[in-house]
Amino acid sequence: MKNRALPEVSRALLKRIARLQQRKYRDREGLFIAEGLRTVRELLGQMAGADMLDCLICTAEGLAFFPESSIYSGSLFLASEDDFNRVAGTSSPQGVLGVFRQPVFPLPYERPYSGRALLVALDEVQDPGNAGTILRTAAWLGADGLLAGPGTVDLYNAKTVRSSAGSLLGMPHTRAGDLPAALRQLQKAGFKVICSSLEGEDFRSGGAWPERTVLVVGNEANGVGPEVRVLADRLVKIPHGRGPARVESLNAAVSAAILMERILL
């Protein structure tokens, strides 16, 4: 597709996209921004339907590396470098930006499960890179869903979107306004709550994992909060290697990945 055949992005659309950098507008519109060729491609590949794409904004240079964008010509707009940089959230944008609809998933305690199931709950995980990586890892290993409690970074934050590597559209995820209440509902549905904690037992010593598990990953600095911790059926930790510990703790995303792998594989 030749660039001159593309409609130029309007000022109104640029303004609308710029507003989506703020969470309140993302929530109000039910949209989110993805930046960069790889991230946009991954999300396009995960779409359940074409209606999940709101629009694509590309510079001439971005289009040169994105030939398949012509498939989405009805939603594709050309932007100058200056206009693109005004709405991009990264310091070195690649000239490709997509606006997608936030998927709507049922609450985890309202879904049917057949046999073994793992849900991951985030309790005030504040680093977007950690949250996105946990979501991506959960999707890769075959977890059944992710639940984000209050105080957890917005899963549609631009950095979280990049870290999640396209899993936002395929991996069931929901927010919980009251995480303890949601966990109690899941316990009623037969789930056991397992919290990652430095004060827990060696995760290898507890025998078989429950058939239905909620793995709770806590805040990077403070761990799982007391209101969640009191609901735990089990506290587990990942012990350090031989000799004295050389670091204080594991990164939250790394810890979650190790535990998910042990539970699922």
Bridge partners, residue 212, by sequence: 117
- The confidence score (pLDDT) of residue 1 equals 45
- As a whole number, the mean pLDDT across the chain is 94
Residue 2 has pLDDT above 70, yes or no: no
Both tokens assigned to 197: 């904690």
Average pLDDT over residues 223-251: 91
Q: Give the CA-trace dihedral at 104, 121, 116, 204, to 10 degrees.
A: 160
Average pLDDT over residues 106-114: 94
Average pLDDT over residues 105-122: 96
- The confidence score (pLDDT) of residue 244 equals 82
Q: Which of 176, 27, 177, 44 is nearest to 102 (CA)?
A: 27
Both tokens assigned to 204: 């290898």
Residue 90 has pLDDT above 80, yes or no: no
What would the pLDDT profile of 205-219 be if each residue is shown by its tens digit? 988 999 999 999 999
Average pLDDT over residues 7-36: 97
- The confidence score (pLDDT) of residue 150 equals 98
Tell me if 143 sits within 8 A of 120, measured CB to CB: yes
What would the pLDDT profile of 165-174 be if each residue is shown by its tens digit? 999 999 999 9
What would the pLDDT profile of 179-236 be if each residue is shown by its tens digit? 999 999 999 999 999 999 999 999 999 889 999 999 999 999 999 999 999 999 999 9
Average pLDDT over residues 151-176: 96
Tell me if 173 sits within 8 A of 146, measured CB to CB: yes
Domains and CATH numbers, the chain: 3-101 (3.30.1330.30), 108-264 (3.40.1280.10)
Average pLDDT over residues 138-149: 98
What would the pLDDT profile of 36-78 be if each residue is shown by its tens digit? 999 999 999 999 999 999 999 999 999 999 999 999 989 999 9
Bridge partners, residue 67, by sequence: none
- The confidence score (pLDDT) of residue 13 equals 98
CA distance 20 to 32: 7
Q: What is the value of pTM for the model shown?
A: 0.94
Backbone conformation region of residue 234, classed left if phi is above 0, alpha if psi is from -120 to 50, else beta: beta
